[in-house]
């Protein structure tokens, strides 16, 4: 059973456009929602994260929007660049449970020049 559902599976965006990736979860005990970025042949790396006490977090061109009542969160990449082409994973975790993370199935983003 997939604890975190992610869509779309793949995304193609023109340079300068906005990339949007969505995730949904069921377990209301989750209290930490990170996004990881993975380039081919590399391990995932933390991109940005949010806790449920805020509805939005912005770091440069990357923004997480969080809707606690809908149990959904999304990653927005503004002014998308070819260097953003990578696979993005959303995740969710609960503290005090071994810090276990549940990952979405990933979104392959391609930014066309």
Give residues in contact with another protein (CB under 8 A): 2, 6, 9, 32, 34, 36, 41-46, 49, 89, 93, 95-96, 98-106
CB closer to another protein, 15 vs 42: 42
CA 58/CA 48 separation, integer angstroms: 8
**CB closer to another protein, 60 vs 96:** 96
Cα(10)–Cα(94) distance, integer angstroms: 28
Residues 59 and 38: their CA atoms lie apart, in Å, by 18
Half-sphere exposure of 64 (CA within 13 A, CB side): 28
- Shortest spacing between CB 27 and another protein, in angstroms: 13
* Residues 23 and 72: beta-carbon distance below 8 Å: yes
Phi, psi of 5 (to 5 degrees): -105, 130
Question: Toward another protein, which CB reaches closer, 55 or 105?
Answer: 105
Question: Pairing state of beta strands 10-14 and 107-112?
Answer: parallel
Q: How far is the CB of 86 from another protein (least distance, A)?
A: 14
CB of 89 to another protein, least distance (A): 6
Residue number, 9 or 113, with CB nearest to another protein: 9
Q: How far is the CB of 101 from another protein (least distance, A)?
A: 7
């Amino acid at each position: 059973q997939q604890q975190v559902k992610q869509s779309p599976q793949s995304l193609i965006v023109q340079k300068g456009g906005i990339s949007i990736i969505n995730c949904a979860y069921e377990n209301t005990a989750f209290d930490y929602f990170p996004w990881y970025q993975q380039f081919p042949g590399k391990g995932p790396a933390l991109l940005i994260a949010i806790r449920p006490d805020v509805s939005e977090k912005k770091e440069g061109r990357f923004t997480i929007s969080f809707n606690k009542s809908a149990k959904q969160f999304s990653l927005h990449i503004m002014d998308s660049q070819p260097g953003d082409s990578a696979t993005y994973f959303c995740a969710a975790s609960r503290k005090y449970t071994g810090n276990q993370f549940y990952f979405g199935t990933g979104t392959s983003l391609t930014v066309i020049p």
